[in-house]
Amino acid sequence: MSMELSSYLKAFKQDKLKTPIYKLGKSLFFDNRLSGNNNISCSTCHSTALGTGDSLPLSQGQKNKILTRNSPSLFELGEGGFQMFFWDGRVSFSRTEPPLFKTPVKEISGYYPQASHITRALKNPLGAQVLFPMINPDEMLGYKGENPIANFEEPLIIWEKITEKILAIDFYQKQFEVLYPDEEINIGHLANAIAHYITETFRADKTPFDLDRLGIKKLDEKSQRGLNVFQQNCLSCHSLPTTTAHSFANIGIPSIETIDKGLPGGIPVDFQFKTPSLRNVALTAPYMHNGAFLTLEEVIEHYNDPVKSLKEYDISRLNKKYRSVYGRDLKWADTPETIAYKVSTFDARLTLIKMTEEEKADLLYFLKYALTDESYLDRL
């Protein structure tokens, strides 16, 4: 890449980070006042210093309650291919005409939703995902009796009250007046600003892998070997270049704390979870929907022999590291019945993965160094 082009792209990115909607989204992302108790912001579980997560197997919510799932990475979530969100895909978006949102709240779901004023304000599907932690009592809302907003049950009313709360702050009122001078502000505008900030900030599209495929700089020999292993073993679920096929699979992950069956009702096989992107994956430990594995080495070993990994799972490794955080040990929740079910319904592609020690080492190197954005390499 020429110095002139590199300088232009850097200046272009900096300009995008100075726009009013970016600044608004950034302020909201870090603002505890989006929560009912003024104690949790988006950044609480998605820390910029912790790989856009919280470095915990299971996140903690109000009153330090241990939640049921790992805080997912935000890297590349604003990329156009991402149209399903949360580990169970319960929020999704189809670029039809009119556009279709599917969510747990019927008033913002369907082709012609009752609360179309909210969906019209959302400029991308990530915005719809942003809405839901705000109405979850365990996450940002808080519990009845703790704050006035938490006393309401209807999502539309909760979102309306949060919007009123934010607009009562002079700083935000002025920001929204600049951005939307002729519109009545609703929760969709807040979520859209946060989604814009996430999209522009948490990029991971200038990895050594990308520089190689764009013909800018070739991969080193070990990364190339790792890419070959990746293509032979991982590609059907983690398709390139996005590193995810946006699909769901049962890969036999041990159950932590609770028997979490993944995808909501109507699915023929339980324990299916969404395949995440692997961009900047070296920064986002621990891994899987419940943080069952501390390291990428453990993840690779699991894929190489999922039956052994599941049946011989040792939760003491998690507890040794996180006992002081949670104040107690986490429990491995699987029973002989759930283990048997997971094994009998494994995604068939797992049976095709057989790697040598050298191949596992090359794959690890590729995941760590070739899929980490150049701006984050110094964190490895």
284 and 365 belong to one structural domain = yes
Instruction: Find the helix or strand (DSSP H, E) in which 91 lies.
Output: strand 91-94
264 and 359 belong to one structural domain = yes
373, HSE (Cβ side, Cα atoms, 13 Å): 16
Q: What is residue 60's predicted lDDT score, i.e. its pLDDT?
A: 98
178 and 251 belong to one structural domain = no
247 and 343 belong to one structural domain = yes
Given 166, 183, 201, the domain boundary residue is 201
Task: Give the global pTM.
Answer: 0.93
155 and 228 belong to one structural domain = no
226 and 347 belong to one structural domain = yes
Structure tokens at 213: 């495929």
At 17, the pLDDT band (50, 70, 90 cuts) reads low
Structure tokens at 131: 């809405």
Instruction: Tell me the pLDDT tens digit for each residue of 115-164.
Output: 999 999 998 889 999 999 999 999 999 999 999 999 999 999 999 999 99
Structure tokens at 80: 């156009």
Given 146, 166, 201, the domain boundary residue is 201
60 and 130 belong to one structural domain = yes
194 and 239 belong to one structural domain = no
221 and 329 belong to one structural domain = yes
**Between these two residues, 5 and 264, which has the higher pLDDT value?**
264
Q: Indicate if the pLDDT at residue 83 is higher than 80.
A: yes
Q: Indicate if the pLDDT at residue 9 is higher than 70.
A: no
For the domain that residue 342 is a member of, what is the CATH number? 1.10.760.10
Q: State whether residue 52 is helix, strand or coil.
A: coil
Which whole number is the average pLDDT over 176-195? Answer: 96
Q: Indicate if the pLDDT at residue 99 is higher than 90.
A: no
Q: Indicate if the pLDDT at residue 369 is higher than 70.
A: yes
155 and 292 belong to one structural domain = no
101 and 241 belong to one structural domain = no
Separation between Cα atoms, residue 241 and residue 239, nearest integer Å: 6
DSSP string for residues in 287-309 = BSTT--BSSHHHHHHHHHSHHHH
Separation between Cα atoms, residue 155 and residue 298, nearest integer Å: 40
Instruction: Tell me the pLDDT tens digit for each residue of 203-233.
Output: 999 999 999 999 999 999 999 999 999 999 9
Separation between Cα atoms, residue 81 and residue 198, nearest integer Å: 15
Given 163, 178, 201, the domain boundary residue is 201
Q: What is residue 15's predicted lDDT score, i.e. its pLDDT?
A: 60
- R_g (Cα) of the chain, nearest Å: 21
Q: Indicate if the pLDDT at residue 10 is higher than 60.
A: no
CA of residue 122 relative to chain centroid, distance: 18
Q: What is residue 81's predicted lDDT score, i.e. its pLDDT?
A: 84
Residue 335 burial class via C-beta count within 10 angstroms: exposed 0-12, middle 13-18, buried 19 and up: exposed
Instruction: Tell me the pLDDT tens digit for each residue of 305-318.
Output: 999 999 999 999 99
Structural domain count, the chain: 2
Query: Poorest-confidence range of 3-7, 275-279, 366-370?
Result: 3-7
212 and 188 belong to one structural domain = no
Instruction: Tell me the pLDDT tens digit for each residue of 253-280.
Output: 999 999 999 987 556 789 999 999 999 9
Which whole number is the average pLDDT over 72-88? Answer: 92
DSSP string for residues in 116-170 = HHHHHH--SHHHHHHTSGGG-IIIII--TTTSTGGG---HHHHHHHHHHHHHTSH
Structural domain range at position 155: 3-201
Q: Who contacts 333 (Cβ-Cβ below 8 Å, separation ≥6)?
A: 255, 256, 257, 258, 259
Q: Indicate if the pLDDT at residue 3 is higher than 70.
A: no
